[in-house]
Structure 1
Amino acid sequence: VRAGFEDAKGNLMGAIERAVIGKTGKEVTAVFANAPGPLELLPSASYPRGWLRVQTSEYRQVMALPIASDEPLKTYRSEMQLHKTLGTTRPAAPVAVGDPLYDIYAREPDAWWRLLNPEWVNPANKKYEGYNPYGLATKRIAEAQSFHRNIQGLYHPTTYASYGADPYQKAFGAVTYRVNATGLKGFGDPLSWRLISEDGEGRIVVRAENRHTLQLRLEPPIDAGDQTVPSDASASRVRGTVVFRQSGYEHQNSYNNDKVLASLLYSLVKIANTAPWWKS
């Protein structure tokens, strides 16, 4: 979202989509933040944690969100209960709790890792009575995440599916930013860095604890998939009667692929054969 859509690299349909939906984060955010459909494509709480990462220039990982541990949330809830019952000091809210909505999507505007740039959400400067556009966008994200929780693990008992798991069709199983520093001594925790600027094409400038500026750059995707959906982190988790793991196509053009069409025809026939009237 923040870096826009990748160059289509000779794919005409991809080039058209990129021109319509947005080449940069500024263009994409204006559409994405105001439409429930795209927001439902964001990783949910059931997605493997730690998918937003920071690595040093020497490829050492120094941050991963949502955090893997549930302990900060458990501790906060325990201390909050003591605050309510015994009047102890109100605990400070944890920095991260292991949920993408809290850890990433709904962060304060100056958190460099937040999903949406508030300045890009409402380019027309439309007035909303009693609301601000950024608040409305985060509310839509929360609703999309709630939708995912409600359908988590729900599959029809007769489910047939296919997905791309092609190592040559890279997808973002994780979003990794590389910082221009070999180590973080003196720079502090990446979660303490404050945003200075971003260019909408994957480059972010932050101010570290020691007041020095650092640059982060979005790394290209490295996970097998179909250029859109990563196979291991997402598509392969579908539970079905039969699931076809395939290669040789990108997401948008999947139904132009013979293997996809063959698996679709097979699935339709198998599902049709479960109809009781068919056997009578």
Structure 2
Amino acid sequence: MESINYIDIDWPDMFKPIRTEKLAGKIAKVIAWYKSKGRLCKHVILVSHSMGGLVCRSACKIHEAEKNVLGVIHGVQPVTGAAAAYWRMKAGFERTEQGTFKGLSSKASAWVLGTNGEEVTCILGNAPGGLELLPNQHYTDNKDEYGWLRVPGKEGKEFVFPRHGNPYEEIYKVTDQFWRLINPGWLAPLDKRSPPINPFVNRKHAWERYIKCIEKAEKFHLSLQTFSHKNTYQFYSGSLNTVDKISFSRGDLSFLHYEMPSDFGYPAVMETTEPRHKSSARGASIMYVDNKDQEIKPPLVATTRLINMSRPGDYQGGGDGTVPDSSGNALTAVLNSHKLDGVEHQEAFGDANAIDYIFKAVRNLALKRIREGEVASAR
């Protein structure tokens, strides 16, 4: 009987592309170590969480580790990406369940990675590993529609992106529309404590660096496609509110009014350029656009319009809070795909049902290999 070894791998440094050759090399070393001890070991079983699934699949396909892998068990894997990645780069990391451990955990994540779009963009916009979580060319929403970004036109007509199956060119590299992924000015915020530098030069270099990062993510997605190991099990969650698409809506902007004393016996109303609706840094995205739909900053004018982006609370069910059903269940050439309700993305491996599924999958993979060995011996 073959030895089964559990390999613990950390999610790679997000400021580097996912380095799957490291996993492939570690698999080979584990097998060699067991053989050096006189043990019969030809394969390992890989168990992955979230983006670890991308690492395992890439190691098997791109770095030819598949021959050394008996099977793979994926948990809450963003197979085709997650619209939440786009949402967070516009609005920041959300906080949930106030007064609970999960609430504290989400607050900590937001504090580290960013409470608003500006803070998140300067981190993930410079991180190929983080950008690999964005919806890729195969991503669909939970209704199996490829156009996951919905933008209202000025005349009321809705535009859907990507139109041609290329989110990298149609969304991620766009600079002149309010629904762009990246605000170039957020990629390299100026440090007020440092000597002043030319902001235009700084922004140009930051954008060029971002383009290199997003192209690395695109190359990774294109090389991986929807490949899966021939012996794959996967579980995903489907009952928590999860962003599977992004929708924008338009609104009229109203300004604050102040009443000032008047010499004529009645107060004079003074209108300011301060909007009633302020752009939120707490899990929301409110933008201001001019009559050409170009995003602008205060001071604002009467022709300014308000743009709101949908929030996680607008979605009912459909995923694990980060990865939607459509992505978590996207691998089709698998031995088994299992839906676990109520399993939260980050805490998935702490769920008793998830742990039970993993152990049963390991057992089934081992028994499958034993049966295959018995058949081969009989021949």
Shorter-chain TM-score range: 0.7 to 0.9
1:171 alignment partner in structure 2: 242
Question: 4+ residue stretches of structure 1 with deviation over 4 A?
Answer: 124-129, 197-200, 276-280
Secondary structure of 1:268's partner?
Answer: helix
Q: Counterparts of 2:356 and 2:123 in 1: how far apart (Å)?
A: 35
Aligned length: 229
Q: Give the letter aligned to residue 168 of structure 2.
A: L
The one of 137, 153, 166 equivalent to 2:210 is 137
Q: Counterparts of 1:154 and 1:8 in 2: how far apart (Å)?
A: 34
TM-score, normalised to structure 2's length? 0.55
Q: Could you list the runs of 5+ residues in structure 2 that have no partner in the other structure?
A: 1-88, 141-145, 253-277, 295-302, 375-379
Secondary structure of 1:111's partner?
Answer: coil
The one of 344, 363, 376 equivalent to 1:250 is 344
Is 2:234–2:329's contact at 8 Å kept on the other side of the alignment? no
Is 2:151–2:179's contact at 8 Å kept on the other side of the alignment? no
Is 2:348–2:354's contact at 8 Å kept on the other side of the alignment? yes
RMSD of equivalent CA atoms: 2.9
| 1:41-190 correspondence runs (5 A) | 41-48=133-140, 49-55=146-152, 62-67=158-163, 97-108=164-175, 110-124=176-190, 132-166=205-239, 169-180=240-251
Q: Counterparts of 1:61 and 1:159 in 2: how far apart (Å)?
A: 43
| 1:193-208 correspondence runs (5 A) | 201-208=284-291
The CA deviation at 1:277 is 9.6
1:231 alignment partner in structure 2: 325
| 1:19-34 correspondence runs (5 A) | 19-34=111-126
1:275 alignment partner in structure 2: 369
Secondary structure of 2:329's partner?
Answer: helix
The CA deviation at 1:64 is 1.1
Q: Could you list the runs of 5+ residues in structure 1 that have no partner in the other structure?
A: 68-96, 182-196
Structure with larger Rg: 2
Is 1:8–1:18's contact at 8 Å kept on the other side of the alignment? no
Q: Give the letter aligned to residue 258 of structure 1.
A: A
Q: Give the letter aligned to residue 214 of structure 1.
A: R
Is 1:66–1:100's contact at 8 Å kept on the other side of the alignment? yes
Q: C-alpha offsets along residues 62-94 of structure 1, whole Å, 9 cap, x if unaligned?
A: 121111xxxxxxxxxxxxxxxxxxxxxxxxxxx
Q: Counterparts of 2:228 and 2:293 in 1: how far apart (Å)?
A: 50
Q: Counterparts of 1:213 and 1:238 in 2: how far apart (Å)?
A: 45
Secondary structure of 1:237's partner?
Answer: coil
Q: Counterparts of 2:138 and 2:372 in 1: how far apart (Å)?
A: 38
Q: Counterparts of 2:226 and 2:92 in 1: how far apart (Å)?
A: 31
Q: Counterparts of 1:260 and 1:139 in 2: how far apart (Å)?
A: 37
Is 1:54–1:179's contact at 8 Å kept on the other side of the alignment? no
